[in-house]
Structure formats: C-alpha cells, structure tokens
Chain A
Amino acid sequence: MDETQNTEQANSTHKIGIYLWIWGLLFVLSFFSYMVDWFAFQGLLRWSLILTFMFLKAGLIMAFFMHLFWERYALVNVLLWPMTAIACFIALMAAEAQYTVFTRAFYFFVGG
C-alpha cells in the first residue's frame, strides 16, 4: 500500500517562498476589502471592489493553497465547470427576486 500510494501521489513539494507570498497577498487583499467598508464606498465602486478582492482571494487559495495550479486539467475542469451551473442559478434567482419585489411593491402600495 505504501508503494502504491507513493507511486500514485506525485510527491513534489514546492518552495516555502511561494506559500509565504500567497499568505502575505491574502492578508493584503483582506485588508483592502476591509478598507472598502472602512472608507464606506457606496454603489458600483463598492460592489466591484468587493467582488474583485473576493475573486482574487478565492483564486489564490484554490490555485496555490489547494494546489489546483499544479494539478492536471482532468481534475481542474471537473471541479470548475459545475460552477457555471451555479452562475446560471444566480442569474435565474436574480430575475426571480426582481419579479417578487415588483409584485410585493405593487400589492402593498397599489393594492390588488
């Protein structure tokens, strides 16, 4: 079993520098996203900054801490393509929310 595991698993380790760099970047990005709230940015600027820092942090964690950057495409694609289903779901529910808030406002304020 020991042999099979060693042969199945590529045992290459990465230099410590890369982990420390990513670690530092995550701290900086978290600090930036906290600053978005601190300076109380509003509207599109706030949302775009939040999303940018969020995706950067998520990408760094998945790529380097979870080693996806070094995995073969077979695994990477199996994990990332299902996310498109979630993106569709978000779009559907955003549309649904608009409809719900419209009907609520209509019947609350205009009356049925």
Chain B
Amino acid sequence: MSDNTLNNLPGGFKGMSHDMGSDQTAFKGVQWGKVMMWIFLLSDTFIFSCFLISYMKGRASTVVDWPNTSEVFSLHVGDVPVPLLLIAIMTFVLITSSGTMALAVKYGYERNRKMCAWLILATAIGGLTFVGMQAFEWSKLIHEGVRPWENPFGAKQFGSFFFMITGFHGTHVSIGVIFLFIFARKTFRGDFDTGKRGFFTTMKSDYVAIEILGLYWHFVDLVWVFIFAFFYLW
C-alpha cells in the first residue's frame, strides 16, 4: 500500500467504513506492530483510568480533609518553600524527553541513523532522570511518615493512592527506559539499516520499531499529564 494508493482511498468517516468493510486489512497504511502497540496502549488506558477513577471515588467519599498536595510536595529553596517544585521539574523533564523521542522517530524515517540514535539516548537519559527524581520524592515522603495506610497530612487514603498511581506510572517509565537503551544500542549498531534480525523474532528490523517505541513513550508522558492534573494540581 504505497502513499499514492492510500491517497486514492476515500477519507474521513466514508474512508473508515470503506476500510472496515474492505474484507482486507482494516488499518490501512499502519504496520501491524503499530496496531498491536496501540491496542496495548488502549488496554493500559483502561488500567490507569481505573486507578484514577478509584482515586476520585476515594477522595470524594472521605469525610476527612484531603492533604494539601501543594504543601505536601513543596521543596525548600533556601528557606522558602516552593509549591510542587519537584513535580514541575519532573513534568518538564518528561515533556523534554517526549520531544526528543518525536524527533528520533522523524530522523529514523529519514534513515538518519546517528541523529536518531543520539535522540533515543537523550530520551532514555531524560526518562532515567525522571525515575531518579521520583525515587527521591518517594523516599522524602516515606521519611515524613507517609504510608499506604496512614500519613500525617490528612485523609488516610492519600498514601495508598499516591504509591499505587505514581508507582505504576514509574514502573512504566522504568520499562520504557530499559527499552530505550536497548533500542539506542540497536540503532547505533545499524540494525535498522541492515535489517538485522531481532533477538525475539525472525523478522528483520525496521525503523518502524522506533515509532512503536515512541508511541509507548508518548503514552507514558500522556498518563503523566493526567496524573499531574488530577493527583497533584486538583
């Protein structure tokens, strides 16, 4: 399905009914691995939604005041407490790494091996920084006495939701960082130019793998957008 053939198909909702009813590939112009990643991300969306919805329910139904996140997550610069400072830095680090990933995908498709590899490496380092700051945040809160079953700031449910939601997100980031390092090495080595066969598969490597990895990484950033809004800011 070359670009021209795709352009000759009807677009919009008419195109959707055409694609779905074509008795062929439903998702035209999309490599199968990319569809699989999207479906995985959709299921992951449901998992994170369940966490955030249970957080909403827990927070809305407690008769004790919810901890003031603006104060709980403040950092002292000198003697002045700056609200949510660490969380703001974490947000900017994650968006930076999302941007470098988007550029890595672009340079990958342009078969610019070195640029692509360096940008993936930059993304991995950004992700690693994020996980490091999250570990700092966790240990700070644990020192202050926050536990899944109690905390000194307010409603008891706060701790369990905090560790569950940010922990699950942090796990996603960590897994992403591991894959980013692996793919940076593969790109530097030129696997995607020579079509070298992968470790788990007999199929030849292709730069579309960078886009699939990018989808996962952008999703991690996407989830953080919602966690930042609902858990930290609300």
Interface residues of chain A, those whose CB is within 8 Å of chain B, are: 1-2, 5-14, 16, 19, 22-23, 26-27, 30, 33-34, 36-38, 40, 46-47, 50-51, 53-54, 57-58, 61-62, 64-67, 71-75, 77-79, 82-83, 86, 89-90, 93-94, 96-98, 100-101, 104-105, 108
In the complex, how many angstroms separate the beta carbon of B178 from the nearest chain A beta carbon?
A: 21
Determine if A73 and B12 form an interchain contact, defined as CB atoms under 8 angstroms apart: yes
Dominant SS among interface residues on chain B? helix
Determine if B103 and A37 form an interchain contact, defined as CB atoms under 8 angstroms apart: no
Determine if A30 and B102 form an interchain contact, defined as CB atoms under 8 angstroms apart: no
The yes or no answer to B145 lying at the interface (CB within 8 A) is no
Among the listed B15, B45, B88, which residue makes an inter-chain contact with A34, where contact means beta carbons less than 8 Å apart?
B88
Complexed CA–CA distance, A94 and B2 (Å): 48
Complexed CA–CA distance, A40 and B20 (Å): 49
Contact-residue size bin, chain B (C-beta under 8 Å from the other chain):
35 or more
Give the one of A37, A38, A51 with max B CB within 10 A.
Answer: A37
Complexed CA–CA distance, A104 and B2 (Å): 62
Complexed CA–CA distance, A94 and B204 (Å): 49
Contacts of A83 in B (CB 8 A): 45
In the complex, how many angstroms separate the beta carbon of B177 from the nearest chain A beta carbon?
A: 18
Identify the closest chain B residue to A70 (Cβ).
B29
Given contacts A73-B12, A74-B28, contact A30 B91 (CB under 8 A): yes
Contacts of B63 in A (CB 8 A): 101, 104-105, 108
Identify the closest chain A residue to B28 (Cβ).
A72
Given contacts A1-B203, A2-B204, A75-B30, contact A66 B83 (CB under 8 A): no
Given contacts A10-B3, A97-B61, A101-B62, contact A74 B229 (CB under 8 A): no
Determine if B99 and A8 form an interchain contact, defined as CB atoms under 8 angstroms apart: no
Contacts of A67 in B (CB 8 A): 211
Identify the closest chain A residue to B217 (Cβ).
A65
Give the one of B29, B31, B228 with max A CB within 10 A.
Answer: B29
